[in-house]
């Protein structure tokens, strides 16, 4: 749309996502199109900074979100007396000139959408589409703050649903028809270049493009995405499970930044590889582990390194190991979990140690199971074992350019970890 009407388009200076924040501030866009992960990362960083400052700033920001959120839900009014003082700093993170935000490529949570609506004056829309549909084929209506759909078909697009009997979705379902989303219109591509067999797999004889996404129509005629057809897998019990639904719940908390849920027809249950937020994991350990003292452990790690420099690398490892097991005997639990420049490296080492701490993993698994059950998941959808990886998925090249998890890569990368997770639960 922007290209059709004429616009200046900005691209990141580097392929890696680490440069995006500075590039956005430099470019100062008026229309920002991004994936939910970018907006969620912004939301989490803002909350982390607010909690660090604490006091009146934290209270005012959270109160502002509450009050403005209620106004938006009630009548769509986004104006608030203290916008300039409370939310301007957040708006400046996207350059300060954004008048429209479009989120697409993956489902966005209602919490994240409301945060963005509160912090930015412009319109916020969710769009749905893909390369084969030349961009968006649905977009949410202005003023729709429900966060429950991706809007009706655009004016140049027709959408229909077709039955997917192998996973139990039918257009005759009530109260809402459900099935695979198919798109037809001038926006739909003619086929893959020199790949006729690939074209035949996704395009039927009547010109309908089969997206592979499972959706339904709500009472307003808007499309609701349920899941991805190819992302369902079948367990030995014959039940189909959606890993993305589970991953979305796991990462809705600030503690878990990334999640990869795994299961297959040869395994009776689900396991997950999780990348936790460093500061929040240490904070979680301070709350859940008895007599856990991050400051003393960090100092012990630093002391072990100094001793190792004077003696040998082996003594450093032993000191770190001793400091790790000593966590059950320390007496103080309170400290700020923000590392200083001097002990940042030791803080990172403590983070890695906690990712291997059996007691902490057991407690976290228990809490995550309770979280999944509270969200209405059945027993087969609840993970049975977890692995905490201190390395973010993008550093292992497990994310696509749009920051989506590439499941085949993740499965290959964590194959030994997955086998060990199942061995530990004797299945």
- Listing DSSP states for 124-159 in one string gives EEEEEEEGGGTEEEEEPPTT----S---SBPTTEEE
Q: Is the pLDDT of residue 325 over 70?
A: no
Cβ 259 vs Cβ 250: under 8 Å: yes
* C-alpha dist (Å) from residue 133 to 137, 158, 181: 7, 11, 12
- Model pLDDT for residues 10-65, shown as the tens digit of each residue: 887 776 556 677 888 888 999 988 888 788 888 888 888 888 888 888 888 888 88
No. of H helices and E strands in the chain? 16, 13
Phi, psi of 274 (to 5 degrees): -125, 140
Could you give all domains of the chain from N- to C-terminal order, each with its CATH number?
2-121 (no CATH), 153-230 (2.30.38.10), 233-276+358-424 (3.30.300.30), 290-354 (no CATH)
Q: Given strand 270-276, what is the order of strands in its sheet?
A: 256-262, 270-276, 383-388
Predicted pLDDT at 317: 36
Distances (CA, A) of 19 to 16, 36, 120: 6, 17, 22
Residue 422: predicted pLDDT: 94
The three-state secondary structure class of 232 is coil
pTM, entire model: 0.61
| pLDDT tens by residue, 365-395 | 999 999 999 999 999 899 999 999 999 999 9
Kindly give the interhelix angle for 294-310 and 278-288, rounded to the nearest 10 degrees.
110
Q: What is the mean pLDDT of residues 345-360?
A: 90
* Tens digit of each residue's pLDDT (9 = 90 or more) over 135-186: 889 999 887 777 778 999 998 899 999 998 877 889 999 888 899 999 999 9
57-113 pLDDT, tens per residue? 888 888 888 888 888 888 777 777 777 778 888 888 888 889 899 988 777 777 888
- Where residue 321 falls among pLDDT bands split at 50, 70, 90? very low
Q: What's the chain's average pLDDT?
A: 82
Q: Quote the pLDDT of residue 201.
A: 92
């Amino acid at each position: 749309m922007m290209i059709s009407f004429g616009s200046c388009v900005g691209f990141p200076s580097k392929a890696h996502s680490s440069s995006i924040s500075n590039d956005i501030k430099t470019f100062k866009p008026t229309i920002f199109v991004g994936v939910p992960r970018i907006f969620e990362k912004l939301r989490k960083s803002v909350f982390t900074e607010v909690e660090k400052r604490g006091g009146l700033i934290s209270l005012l920001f959270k109160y502002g979100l509450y009050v403005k959120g209620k106004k938006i839900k009630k009548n769509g009014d986004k104006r608030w007396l203290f916008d300039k003082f409370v939310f301007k700093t957040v708006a400046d993170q996207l350059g300060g000139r954004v008048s429209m935000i479009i989120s697409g490529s993956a489902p966005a949570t209602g919490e994240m959408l409301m945060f963005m609506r509160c912090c930015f004056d412009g319109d916020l829309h969710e769009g749905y589409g893909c390369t084969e549909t030349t961009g968006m084929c649905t977009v949410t209506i202005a003023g729709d703050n429900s966060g429950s759909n991706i809007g009706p078909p655009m004016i140049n697009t027709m959408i229909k649903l077709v039955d997917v009997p192998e996973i139990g979705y039918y257009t005759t379902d009530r109260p809402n028809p459900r099935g695979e989303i198919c798109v037809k219109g001038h926006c739909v591509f003619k086929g893959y270049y020199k790949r006729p067999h690939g074209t035949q797999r996704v395009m039927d004889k009547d010109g309908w493009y089969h997206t592979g996404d499972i959706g339904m129509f709500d009472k307003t005629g808007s499309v609701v995405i349920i899941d991805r057809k190819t992302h369902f897998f079948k367990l030995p019990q014959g039940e189909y499970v959606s890993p993305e639904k589970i991953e979305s719940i796991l990462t809705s908390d600030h503690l878990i930044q990334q999640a990869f849920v795994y299961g297959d027809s040869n395994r009776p249950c689900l396991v997950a590889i999780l990348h936790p937020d460093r500061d929040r994991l240490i904070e979680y350990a301070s709350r859940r582990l008895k007599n856990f003292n991050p400051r003393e452990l960090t100092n012990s790690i630093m002391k072990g390194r100094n001793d190792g420099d004077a003696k040998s690398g082996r003594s450093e490892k032993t000191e770190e190991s001793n400091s790790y097991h000593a966590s059950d005997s320390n007496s103080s639990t309170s400290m700020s979990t923000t590392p200083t420049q001097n002990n940042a490296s030791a803080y990172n080492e403590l983070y890695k140690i906690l990712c291997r701490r059996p007691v902490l993993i057991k407690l976290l698994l228990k809490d995550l199971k309770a979280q999944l059950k509270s969200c209405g998941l059945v027993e087969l959808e609840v993970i049975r074992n977890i692995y905490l990886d201190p390395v973010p998925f993008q550093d292992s090249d497990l994310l696509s350019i749009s920051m989506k998890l590439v499941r085949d890569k993740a499965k290959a990368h964590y194959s030994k970890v997955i086998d060990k997770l199942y061995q530990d639960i004797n299945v």
